[in-house]
């Protein structure tokens, strides 16, 4: 029996061996479906061609097939679907650096921009007072998330069934027909059924309103005060009407209830709500996603939860950007829990669905913003738009000098500007740099035309940062002598303290006007005569020794370091 490690390696080898043919097979099938799609499109069978493009993309996703998918859906009149696919292609190629990728990115951007102005939209209007607990709205088989209510969302042309359901209420549905292009429709969801707290009795009514509900007399509470209502929307309560004339109800003033039966206090206004407490440590950034076309988005403390929201909504809001870091968010509170968005507009749109119960939107800092990265050293460049002439220099003055020397022959040379990267070649180890590959190649060709000149190939090059300056050596910790001397004669002295040096200088200053100010030196020249006698240099030391008739030689001497107590 093989050891377990060898058995595992053998299993992995078998899986890898089987995976390679499977990938090759998928690629071959994708190519066949792609060719079939092109053939069907040429024959005018657009719907069949779109299905073949979908199958090819599923087998082997590529940007080229994705663009063909989008183009096919546009020809089929599915403008919203096509717009979403072009946006997918734009995102997939946004970071491309090669020429092919940049070209595909521009194609996706151009088509998406042109389609956006032609899109049809559908708005499902759900008023805040018509949202019972558990309300669910579907468009066909698609469940519409509450954050997408009251939003004009792009949609393909066709007939759609809108269904609204809520626990304990009858189902409501309607159908809407939308043109394939430039059609803006809205569907208003009515109140589902009658809720007990809002019901009203049958009988005479001051005004007839289709949405008016009846009140159950058995459930009415005559002792509880009710908010005042305008005459156009007020329905008299039978419990408060004149009992002697049931045919002509009257609104009567209800006496205030006794203190023991006082109505419960109203919840505080948004301004009186306690401050929101956001999750997180206050140091880690959050993650946000948003649409730039409709007010849909969210911010979460964990990236996984942000990605979950985006994955749920991407089928309906195709331009939701990938979750990215955020250091400030805009939040409102609902039942003590924060709900956060990346902008004021999205926060207000989300808060509008629960406005009666939510606090006001407020901007909150969730993490300190990092300092901007240090700016790299830059080249100073100039170039001509009419000819392959230009140069990049390390110093602005050098760039301006180059420009001045050529501007008479090349008047369109640009003013010197900064560039992070230049294209350079070297001759004998010396770099010659230009702002583009074309100018570098032209300069290199001119330089190598001279006999014996050899140059390296042109290559991109950044400015190398200057090496750090060497550290300045610290001042020696040893104590210093304080010295003074004359410039015209061998007179001077060195003392361990500045006070002693200044006293000597003052005693001789009337006779020696050129005695220097007392200054510090690390070493003095000294001879011994009952103690050290020191001068700032050997000449002064020898003169002082001879004047004192001493024979001890002058020697260099430093002050001893102070002893630690």
The strand pairing partners of 391, in sequence order, are 382
CB atoms within 10 A of CB 553: 13
Are 78 and 156 spatial neighbours (Cβ–Cβ below 8 Å)?
Answer: yes
Q: What is the chain's Cα-based Rg?
A: 44
Instruction: Name the residue with tokens 């979750």.
Output: 323
131 Cβ neighbours under 8 A, 6+ residues apart:
353
Site of tokens 């998406």: 112
Query: What is the rounded CA–CA span in Å between residue 519 and residue 505?
Result: 12
The residues, ordered by sequence, that sit 6+ positions from 254 with a Cβ below 8 Å of its Cβ are 222, 223, 225, 240
* Residue 152: φ, ψ to 5°: -80, 100
Distance CA 454, CA 417 (A): 30
Pick from 274, 425, 270, 438: which is nearest to 357 by CA?
270
* Residues written for the chain: 565
Kind plus residue range of the DSSP H or E element containing 344: helix 344-351
Reduced to 3 states (helix: H, G, I; strand: E, B; else coil), residue 339 is strand
CATH of domain 23-116: 1.25.40.10
* Residue 558: predicted pLDDT: 87
Termini Cα distance of the chain: 78
Is the Cβ–Cβ distance between 123 and 150 less than 8 Å?
yes
User: Which residues are within 8 A (CB) of 541 and not within 5 positions of it... i.e. 6 or more apart?
Assistant: 525, 526, 527, 533, 534, 535, 554
Cα gap 146→298, rounded to integer Å: 13
Q: Say what the pLDDT of residue 442 is.
A: 92
- Number of Cβ within 10 Å of residue 92's Cβ equals 18
**Number of other residues whose CB lies within 10 A of the CB of residue 67:** 22
In this structure, is the dihedral angle defined by the CA atoms of residues 324, 325, 327 and 329, taken in order, positive or negative?
positive
H or E element that contains 555: strand 555-557
Q: What is the DSSP secondary-structure string of 374-412?
A: PPPP-EEEEE-SSSS-EEEESSHHHHHHHHHHHTTT-TT
Phi-psi region of 205 (alpha: psi -120 to 50; beta: other; left: phi over 0): beta
SS3 326: strand
- Residue 428 to residue 455: CA distance in whole angstroms: 8
Coil, strand or helix: which one is 337? Answer: strand
- CATH 2.60.40 is held by the domain 120-188: yes
Q: CB of 255 within 8 A of CB of 224?
A: no
- Contact (CB, 8 A) for 112 and 90: yes
pLDDT of residue 290: 93
C-beta of residue 376 within 8 angstroms of C-beta of residue 464: no
Helix, coil or strand: residue 139: strand
Output the CA torsion sign for 76, 77, 82, 84.
negative
CB atoms near residue 38 (< 10 Å): 16
CATH 2.60.40 in the chain, residues?
A: 120-188
pLDDT of residue 161: 93
481 beta partners: 521
Q: Are 149 and 137 in contact (CB under 8 A)?
A: yes
Closest CA to 325 of 371, 369, 277, 372: 369
For the chain, the 3-state helix, strand and coil shares in percent, each to the nearest 5, are: 35, 20, 45
| Exposure of 149 in the CB half-sphere (CA atoms within 13 A) | 22
Longest dimension (CA), the chain: 143
Distance from C-alpha of 37 to C-alpha of 54, rounded to nearest angstrom: 9
Residues sharing a CB contact under 8 Å with residue 94, sequence separation 6 or more, in sequence order = 105
Split the chain (565 residues) into runs of 10 and give each run's mean pLDDT. 47 48 74 90 90 91 91 92 92 86 89 91 90 90 89 92 91 91 91 52 40 37 43 41 43 48 47 69 92 88 92 86 93 87 90 76 90 84 91 92 89 91 90 92 88 86 70 64 86 90 86 86 88 89 87 86 60
Res 269: pLDDT: 46
Report DSSP letters for 427-494, one per residue.
ETTEEEEESSHHHHHHHHHHHHTSTT---PPPEEEEPPPPPPPPPPPPPPSS--EEEEEBSSSS-EEE
CA distance 165 to 221: 30
CATH 1.25.40.10 domain position(s) in the chain: 23-116
């Amino acid at each position: 029996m093989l050891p377990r490690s060898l058995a595992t390696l053998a299993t992995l080898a078998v899986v890898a061996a089987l995976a390679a043919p499977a990938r090759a097979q998928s690629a071959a099938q994708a190519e066949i479906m792609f060719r079939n799609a092109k053939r069907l499109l040429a024959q005018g069978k657009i719907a069949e061609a779109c299905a073949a493009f979908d199958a090819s993309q599923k087998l082997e996703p590529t940007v080229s097939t994705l663009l063909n998918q989008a183009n096919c859906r546009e020809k089929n009149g599915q403008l919203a679907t096509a717009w979403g696919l072009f946006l997918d292609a734009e995102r997939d190629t946004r970071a491309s650096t090669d020429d092919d990728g940049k070209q595909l990115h521009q194609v996706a951007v151009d088509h998406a921009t042109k389609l956006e102005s032609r899109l049809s939209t559908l708005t499902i209007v759900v008023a805040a007072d018509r949202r019972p607990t558990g309300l669910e709205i579907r468009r066909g088989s698609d469940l519409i998330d509450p954050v997408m209510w009251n939003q004009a969302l792009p949609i393909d042309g066709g007939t759609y069934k809108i269904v609204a359901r809520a626990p304990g209420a009858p189902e409501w549905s309607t159908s809407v027909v939308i043109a394939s292009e430039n059609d803006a429709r809205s569907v208003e969801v009515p109140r589902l059924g009658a809720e007990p707290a809002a019901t009203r009795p049958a009988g005479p009514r001051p005004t007839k309103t289709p949405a008016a509900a009846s009140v159950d007399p058995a459930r009415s509470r005559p002792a509880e005060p009710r908010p005042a209502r305008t005459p156009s929307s007020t329905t008299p309560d039978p419990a408060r009407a004149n009992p002697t004339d049931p045919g002509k109800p009257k609104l009567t003033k209800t006496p205030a209830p006794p203190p023991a039966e006082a109505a419960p206090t109203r919840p505080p206004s948004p301004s009186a709500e306690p401050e929101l407490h956001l999750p997180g440590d206050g140091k880690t950034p959050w993650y946000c996603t948003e649409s730039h076309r409709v007010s849909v988005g969210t911010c979460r403390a964990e990236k996984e939860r942000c990605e979950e929201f985006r994955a749920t909504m991407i089928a309906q809001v195709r331009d939701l950007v990938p979750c990215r870091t955020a250091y400030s968010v805009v939040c409102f509170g609902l039942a003590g829990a924060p709900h956060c968005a990346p902008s004021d507009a999205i926060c207000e749109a989300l808060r509008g669905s629960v406005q009666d119960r939510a606090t006001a939107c407020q901007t909150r800092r969730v993490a300190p913003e990092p300092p901007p990265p240090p700016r790299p050293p830059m080249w100073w460049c100039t170039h001509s738009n009419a000819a392959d002439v230009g140069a990049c220099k390390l110093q602005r003055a050098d760039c301006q000098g180059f420009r001045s020397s050529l501007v008479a022959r090349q008047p369109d040379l640009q003013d010197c500007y900064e560039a992070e990267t230049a294209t350079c070649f070297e001759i004998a180890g010396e770099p010659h740099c230009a702002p583009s590959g074309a100018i570098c190649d032209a300069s290199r060709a001119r330089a190598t035309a001279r006999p014996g000149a050899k140059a390296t190939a042109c290559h991109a090059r950044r400015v190398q940062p200057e090496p750090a300056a060497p550290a300045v050596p610290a001042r020696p910790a040893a104590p210093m002598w304080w010295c003074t001397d004359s410039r015209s004669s061998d007179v001077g002295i060195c003392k361990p303290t500045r006070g002693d040096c200044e006293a000597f200088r003052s005693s001789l200053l009337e006779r020696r006007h050129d005695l220097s100010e007392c200054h510090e030196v690390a070493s003095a020249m000294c001879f011994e005569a009952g103690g050290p006698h020191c001068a700032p240099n050997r000449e002064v030391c020898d003169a002082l020794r001879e004047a004192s008739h001493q024979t001890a030689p002058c020697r260099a001497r430093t002050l001893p370091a102070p002893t630690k107590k």
